[in-house]
Amino acid sequence: MRVLLVEDDEEVAETLVAFLVREGFVVDRADCLEIAREAIRDEEFDVVLLDRMLPDGDGLELLDFARRIGRPQRVLVLTAIDGVDDRVAGLEGRANDYIVKPFEPRELVARIRNAMRFTPQARPQTKTYGPLSFEVETMAFTLDGEPFVVRRAEALVLAALMARPGGLVSRETLEARVYGYDKIVSSNSLESQISRLRKSLGERTDKLRIQVERGVGYRLATD
């Protein structure tokens, strides 16, 4: 189960990430609204754990953003704000639950599992662009109807490009997809993944290629 944790407090975030990973969750972290918006626009998450008091705004703004782009999320609001009006605002904003800090991590896990009973929308299970098809849940690719197997890091890059077929995907988005939203990576790490992916695609087809806009990002293009 993949979780997006939107939390700017480093100590709280580290504690929650460590606990959730031990419980078997895959956790990505965003420390502000801007990064969280980019994450839910480009990626698939099972649950979003959302702090309200973020450095660039109220976390509830993320709920409106998700609905506007047609990607509503399962959301648990985690906050120290304990007023009745604040709890009502969160729930009326279509959050699935509202948990006041401090809380027991075990309770959080129980609430996450409860939120999974809610289906925010029917998500397409397969994405297709040109000769390439991608099964979202299994991260399996087929190229011209045949399995296309690459390393995990390259598969994550390709999945991010498939999230915007034909559209430009920023370097920052790709690095976050492969290495995590809160990781610092060397300048040539992503280029290495792209280079291997281009070679693998080129060996199989001339109908699909990865284009680069220097200093901006990459896009998946077809002939």
DSSP string, 61-106: HHHHHHHHTT----EEEEES---HHHHHHHHHTT-SEEEESS--HH
Tokens representing residue 203 in the block = 């060996």
The mean pLDDT of 72-77, rounded to a whole number, is 86
Q: What is the pLDDT of residue 122?
A: 44
Q: What is the pLDDT of residue 211?
A: 93
Taking alpha carbons only, the member of 148, 152, 163, 139 closest to residue 217 is 163
Q: How far apart are CA 163 and CA 29, in angstroms?
A: 19
Q: How far apart are CA 31 and CA 40, in angstroms?
A: 13
Mean pLDDT of the chain: 85
Q: Of 64 and 118, which is predicted with more confidence?
A: 64
Going by pLDDT thresholds of 50, 70 and 90, the confidence category of residue 93 is: low
In this predicted structure, which of 96-100, 185-189, 200-204, 212-216 has the lowest mean pLDDT? 185-189
Q: What is the pLDDT of residue 137?
A: 67
Q: What is the pLDDT of residue 37?
A: 92
The mean pLDDT of 190-201, rounded to a whole number, is 92
Going by pLDDT thresholds of 50, 70 and 90, the confidence category of residue 8 is: very high
Domain 2-115 matching CATH 1.10.3720.10: the answer reads no
One-letter identity of residue 137: E
The neighbour count for residue 174, using CB atoms within 10 Å, is 20
Give the three-state DSSP class for 60: coil
Q: What is the pTM of this model?
A: 0.55
Q: Residue 17: in which H helix or E strand, if any? A: helix 10-22
Q: What is the pLDDT of residue 173?
A: 84
Share of the chain above pLDDT 70, in %: 87
Q: What is the pLDDT of residue 79?
A: 79
Question: Do 39 and 104 form a contact (C-beta atoms < 8 A)?
Answer: no
**Cis upstream peptide for 102 (omega within 30°):** yes
On the question of pLDDT at 182 being above 90, the answer is: no
Q: Of 66 and 149, which is predicted with more confidence?
A: 149
Q: What is the pLDDT of residue 56?
A: 92
Q: How far apart are CA 208 and CA 201, in angstroms?
A: 7
Question: How far, in whole angstroms, is CA 78 from its chain's centroid?
Answer: 18
Domain layout of the chain by residue ranges: 2-115, 126-222
DSSP state of 200: H
- Which CATH code is given to the segment(s) 126-222? 1.10.10.10
The mean pLDDT of 19-30, rounded to a whole number, is 92
Going by pLDDT thresholds of 50, 70 and 90, the confidence category of residue 90 is: low
Q: What is the pLDDT of residue 98?
A: 85
